[in-house]
């Protein structure tokens, strides 16, 4: 059965929310009124060699679909350059070419894989596009920002992303848009860096013209202060700052700048507010309210997030070295503590202890089945396991049974009482 242009638009509109329809209508705005009246649901999408399945994401200049490559017989993510009733202009094509050039030169386990560039022709309109690896069952990192995350998991994620950026930097490529939305975890929990649409290839000249949707190059909450001021004259340290922001956000559940956490773009007035924020830029690094953090991790965050680039890590590799050194200190530590907000840290010296709740949390050496929520067991002096007896929150998610190893920085919430497990690292 031949798939018509009406079918293509109809199925695209069927699979997206009403807030996204305007974007896709702008992509195919040249359909006349009569054609639009014939849009019905339930049709397959075919554009050239690609079968489009559903919308994955959208940006200022492009739309990404989950698609099927009918020649190579595999799923792909297909990035299509947006246009209206004319072919894309020179600036738009130049940015897409730069992204293709950057991504196609990078082969790394923690960077999404580039497949090929191509053109889609729709009613005489040429739509440049390229295909890349589709991360099946992937979850963007922003899905993990509602609560503070444990230190060990956060460090492992950031180290893998950092190695990917170090590799890109050796190829003289800056990402310039590192943020949770551009990092996706695959089904095994390994991160992949996405979206090199704002990449800078060092040594090459580039033009820059702000889009209507954004007043700057990059996402304000995660870019470095120098990137806001002059996005064309940044170096590798801008990615270090952005990665440091993501790291702090993972650890605390907050952005390091309280002003940017409250900022969002709706119009010209917000542009002015953003300019004022960066003119008087300050950070609000607060580690005191996060009982799962310590001075070592605080120093790492402060150095990665230094407002003055001269005080920041000189390279991604230097940041990785500090993270690995800290991980080594933690793995060898044999002093286990529970940290409470309202009292002194409790040293875990007994092999077994029970976490109970009456009117407040307490630790007891004998289990009370009615009030016992968890049992903590030390193993070989270096590891601590938890046996879950009653329902509570562990690292922001409800658990009601089972047993698992506790990692440095894991935190429990029992009736609003927060307690964090830590292996003490001496200063």
Q: Provide the domain limits for residue 415.
A: 336-423
The tens digit of pLDDT for each residue in 338-396 reads 888 777 778 888 888 898 988 788 888 887 778 899 999 988 777 889 999 999 999 88
CATH of the domain at 309: 1.10.510.10
Domain end, chosen from 289, 306, 332, is at 332
> Do 237 and 340 belong together in one domain?
no
> Do 46 and 88 belong together in one domain?
yes
> Do 258 and 382 belong together in one domain?
no
pLDDT at 255 over 50: yes
Burial of 161 (0-12, 13-18, 19+ CB in 10 A): buried
Per-residue pLDDT band at 230 (split at 50, 70, 90): confident
> Do 377 and 288 belong together in one domain?
no
Domain end, chosen from 110, 132, 154, is at 132
Annotation marks residue 195 as catalytic: no
Domain end, chosen from 277, 307, 332, is at 332
Q: How far is 325 from 424, CA to CA, in rounded Å?
A: 15
> Do 308 and 367 belong together in one domain?
no
Q: Which of 408, 332, 336, 338 is nearest to 154 (CA)?
A: 408
Q: How far is 209 from 365, CA to CA, in rounded Å?
A: 66
> Do 215 and 304 belong together in one domain?
yes
The kind and range of the H/E element at 126 are strand 125-132
> Do 69 and 143 belong together in one domain?
no
Q: How far is 365 from 398, CA to CA, in rounded Å?
A: 25
> Do 179 and 97 belong together in one domain?
no
pLDDT of residue 23: 44
> Do 261 and 357 belong together in one domain?
no
- DSSP, collapsed to helix, strand or coil, labels residue 174 as strand
> Do 296 and 357 belong together in one domain?
no
| Mean pLDDT to the nearest integer, 282-300 | 81
3-state secondary structure 374-398: EEEEEECCCEEEEEECCCEEECCEE
The kind and range of the H/E element at 139 are strand 139-140
The structural domain count of the chain equals 3
- Residue 254 corresponds to which tokens in the numbers above? 């907050």
The tens digit of pLDDT for each residue in 192-225 reads 999 998 999 987 766 555 444 444 678 889 999 9
Q: Of the listed 7, 20, 32, 177, which one is catalytic? A: 177
> Do 89 and 77 belong together in one domain?
yes
CATH of the domain at 343: 2.60.200.20
pLDDT of residue 126: 76
Q: Longest Cα pair distance anywhere in the chain, in angstroms?
A: 77
> Do 361 and 343 belong together in one domain?
yes
Phi, psi of 114 (to 5 degrees): -85, 140
Q: Please list, in sequence order, all residues whose beta carbon lies within 8 angstroms of the beta carbon of residue 162, skipping any fewer than 6 positions away.
A: 243, 316, 319, 320, 323
pLDDT of residue 216: 66
């Amino acid at each position: 059965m031949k798939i018509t242009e009406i079918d293509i638009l109809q199925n695209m509109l069927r699979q997206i929310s009403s807030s996204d329809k305007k974007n896709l209508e702008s992509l195919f705005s040249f359909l006349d009124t009569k054609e639009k009246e014939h849009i019905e649901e339930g049709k397959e999408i075919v554009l050239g060699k690609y079968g489009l399945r559903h919308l994955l994401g959208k940006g200022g200049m492009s739309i990404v679909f989950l698609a099927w490559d009918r020649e190579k017989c595999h799923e792909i993510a297909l990035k299509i350059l947006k246009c209206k009733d004319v072919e894309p202009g020179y600036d738009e094509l130049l940015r897409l070419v730069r992204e293709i050039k950057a991504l196609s030169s990078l082969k790394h386990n923690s960077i999404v894989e580039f497949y090929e560039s191509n053109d889609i022709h729709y009613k005489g309109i040429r739509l440049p596009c390229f295909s890349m690896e589709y991360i099946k069952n992937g979850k963007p990192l922003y899905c993990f920002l509602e609560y503070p995350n444990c230190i060990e998991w956060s460090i492992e994620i950031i180290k893998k992303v950092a190695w990917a950026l170090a590799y890109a930097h050796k190829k003289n490529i800056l990402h310039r848009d590192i943020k949770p939305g551009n990092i996706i975890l695959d089904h095994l929990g390994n991160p992949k860096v996405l979206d090199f649409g704002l990449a800078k290839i060092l040594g090459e000249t580039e033009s820059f013209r702000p889009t209507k949707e954004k007043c700057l190059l990059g996402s304000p909450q995660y870019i470095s202060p120098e990137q806001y001021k002059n996005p064309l004259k940044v170096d590798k340290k801008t990615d270090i700052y952005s990665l440091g922001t993501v790291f702090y956000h993972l650890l605390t559940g907050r952005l390091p700048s309280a002003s940017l956490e409250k900022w969002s773009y709706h119009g010209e007035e917000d542009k002015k507010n953003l300019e004022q924020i960066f003119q008087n830029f300050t950070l609000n690094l607060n580690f005191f309210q996060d009982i799962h953090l310590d001075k070592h991790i605080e120093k790492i965050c402060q150095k990665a997030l230094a407002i003055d680039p001269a005080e920041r890590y000189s390279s991604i590799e230097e940041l990785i070295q500090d993270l690995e050194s800290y991980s080594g200190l933690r793995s060898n530590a044999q002093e286990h503590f529970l940290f409470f907000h309202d009292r002194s840290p409790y040293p875990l010296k007994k092999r077994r202890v029970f976490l109970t709740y009456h009117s407040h949390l307490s630790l007891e050496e004998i289990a009370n089945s009615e009030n016992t929520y968890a049992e903590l067991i030390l193993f070989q002096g270096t590891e601590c396991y938890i046996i879950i007896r009653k329902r509570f929150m562990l690292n922001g998610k409800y658990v009601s049974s089972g047993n698992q190893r506790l990692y440095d920085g894991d935190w429990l919430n029992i009736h609003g009482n927060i307690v964090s497990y830590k292996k003490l690292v001496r200063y």
